Amino acid sequence: MKIIRFKDKESKKIVLGAVTEEEKVYVLPYESIVDVADKAKERKMTTKELIEEFVPHLLPVKESLSDLDVVIPVEAPEVWASGVTYFKSKEARNYEATDGKMDATTFYDKVYDAERPEIFFKSTRERTIGPNQILHLRSDSNWQVPEPELGLVLDGDGNILGYTIGNDMSCRDIEGENPLYLPQAKIWSRSCSVGPAILLAEAVEDPYNFNMTCRIYRNEELVFEGSANTNQLKRRYEELVEYLRKDNIIFPGTVLLTGTCIVPPNDFTLHDGDRVDIEVEGIGTLSNTVTHQKSHITN
């Protein structure tokens, strides 16, 4: 069972929908996944059980899932991210930090093996976009890449409501120049996308077995493709959430990205007009075009 948000063609309003395994879509009488989860908790049910109670009394929408105008599935008040949670990520960060020499132990080696994971602030509701919207390239970077990641959608207690896809855009040259520049290498207007759906946690048999593929197209030609599986993750999801929660407030609907294991070649950088498609088995494909163009953000 998946949760989506989409623009209803008749009312022109954004509605919440449940997607069954047969890809039939049902409009739910709630505004967000947080509202559904709160109601389920009140009734001592799982979110999936509550939705399954509704569905038999509803008619599916006429359009197919592929024809719907899907928007960001959760308007996360905050998006946080985890760094160096995969070996491939550690290698990439070391390459940046040593200017390609790879001849010394770095702080990335240390955090990869440390008890405390790297957790950093990534985005806000106003900076985050959904599927098929335009991501921005940073104007003062010459080495930018997407970072395909599995995202955890959390309630206010840090419980995992479901799983989504995140694109944690990153400036490798800025971070590599100095680790203190990490916020500038990670946070700017439209530097993060999330979607297209949320796969309910109760519907996932093994969350450490998600297949993920990233494809980058330039002028409709495939210029990069890479794949990974969440079974390569060094950390446990609960461990990452635990450290995010320490002495912190978790706003309902917060998204925690869990790190990337797909890194384009070191000589690759995104160009204006490139399209990034991130596909995660069971969730869907998050597709965004990147551009240098500055425009007013409307999510």
Query: Which run of H or E residues covers position 52?
Result: helix 47-54
| C-alpha dist (Å) from residue 251 to 42, 124, 157, 248 | 18, 11, 8, 10
| C-alpha dist (Å) from residue 295 to 7, 85, 123, 292, 298 | 22, 33, 17, 10, 9
Closest CA to 7 of 124, 131, 128: 131
Res 296: pLDDT = 41
Closest CA to 82 of 128, 114, 105: 114
Res 299: pLDDT = 41
Cβ–Cβ under 8 Å, residues 255 and 80: yes
Q: Angle between the 33-42 and 47-54 helix axes, to the nearest 10 degrees? A: 100
Res 97: pLDDT = 65
Per-residue pLDDT of the chain (299 residues; tens, 9 = 90+): 999 999 998 888 999 999 999 999 999 999 999 999 999 999 999 999 999 998 999 999 999 999 999 999 999 999 999 988 886 675 766 666 676 665 666 767 777 788 999 999 999 999 999 999 999 999 999 999 999 999 999 999 999 999 999 999 999 999 999 989 999 999 999 999 999 999 999 999 999 999 999 999 999 999 999 999 999 999 999 999 999 999 999 999 999 999 999 999 999 999 999 999 999 999 999 999 999 866 444 44
Cβ–Cβ under 8 Å, residues 271 and 289: no
Please state, in angstroms and rounded to a whole number, the distance separating the CA atoms of residues 93 and 96.
5
Res 298: pLDDT = 43
The secondary structure of 189-246 as a DSSP string is TT-EEEEEEEEEGGG-S-TT--EEEEEEEETTEEEEEEEEEGGG-SS-HHHHHHHHHT
Q: What is the 3-state secondary structure (H, E, C) of 56-75?
A: HHCCCCCCCHHHCEEECCCC
Res 295: pLDDT = 46
**What's the predicted TM-score (pTM) here?**
0.94
Please state, in angstroms and rounded to a whole number, the distance separating the CA atoms of residues 169 and 188.
9
Cβ–Cβ under 8 Å, residues 85 and 235: yes
Closest CA to 158 of 49, 232, 240: 240
